């Protein structure tokens, strides 16, 4: 009797193995969630996912290329200490990977707690064309990495002056009375092209007058 070969039979054991979370799984680790999403250097974060090594020392966790200490581990969860020196003004987040059993996860992200914040604006009212000073913390040092948007405006305003704690911008013609948004552009990947932004609503308002 002639027997037909079914190639799908070869994949069934592999799929079953990758569906398991145990110490013998050869599938790459996967990070589904990082808690908390924002963590200062030296603090601890919990990585939830699958296919981690149950021995903490068998998981190689890297954040922006720096080795992170794994303090507790199971196949579905790792507790990791954020290493020092991974954040800066132009890179307020860390790209995180986990390597276990020779297999590496796709990248996940943990953000610095150093989000840009606006604490004051002066003057607080004026017509379009007014030069205003925004005071706060963790502004990007490079002027081209900061953009400010006034309420209901479609204009991303480039600052005329930038420091880590102070920005000066000109109120655009289409600005309306309301809150102010700061866009802090950062490099998406170290050494690679591309960008993303962190937007932070400010606890300040500007009143547009005629």
Per-residue pLDDT of the chain (210 residues; tens, 9 = 90+): 444 544 444 434 444 444 444 556 678 999 998 888 777 788 899 999 999 999 999 999 999 899 999 999 999 999 999 998 887 766 677 889 999 999 999 888 776 766 677 888 999 999 999 999 999 877 777 777 788 889 989 998 999 998 888 999 999 999 999 988 887 765 433 333 334 455 555 568 999 999
Is there a single domain that holds both residue 76 and residue 141?
Answer: no
- Tell me, yes or no, whether 132 lies in a domain: yes
Of the residues 84, 111, 138, the one at which a domain ends: 111
Which of 145, 190, 195, 197 has the alpha carbon at shortest distance from 167? 145
Does residue 190 share a domain with residue 130? Answer: yes
DSSP 8-state symbol, 106: P
CB–CB of 185/195 below 8 Å? Answer: yes
pLDDT, position 98:
97
- List for the chain the helix, strand, coil content (%; round to 5): 10, 50, 45
What is the per-residue pLDDT for 114?
63
Q: Are residues 139 and 175 in the same domain?
A: yes
Q: 138 with 56, same domain?
A: no
DSSP type of residue 9: H
């Amino acid at each position: 009797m002639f027997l037909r070969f079914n190639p799908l039979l070869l994949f069934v054991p592999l799929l079953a193995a990758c569906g398991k979370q145990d110490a013998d799984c050869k599938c790459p680790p996967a990070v589904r969630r990082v808690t908390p999403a924002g963590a200062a250097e030296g603090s601890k974060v919990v990585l939830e996912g699958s296919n981690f090594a149950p021995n903490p020392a068998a998981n190689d966790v890297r954040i922006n290329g720096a080795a992170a200490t794994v303090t507790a581990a199971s196949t579905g969860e790792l507790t990791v200490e954020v290493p020092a020196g991974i954040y800066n003004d132009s890179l307020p987040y860390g790209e995180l990977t986990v390597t276990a059993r020779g297999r590496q996860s796709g990248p996940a992200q943990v953000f610095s707690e150093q989000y840009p914040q606006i604490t004051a604006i002066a003057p607080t009212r004026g017509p379009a064309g007014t030069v205003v000073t925004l005071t706060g913390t963790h502004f990007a040092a490079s002027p081209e990495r900061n953009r400010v948007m006034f309420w209901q405006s479609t204009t991303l305003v480039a600052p005329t002056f930038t420091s880590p704690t102070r920005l000066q911008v000109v109120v655009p013609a289409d600005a309306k009375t309301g809150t102010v948004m700061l866009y802090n552009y950062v490099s998406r990947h170290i050494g690679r092209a591309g960008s993303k932004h962190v937007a932070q609503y400010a606890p300040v308002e500007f009143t547009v007058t005629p």
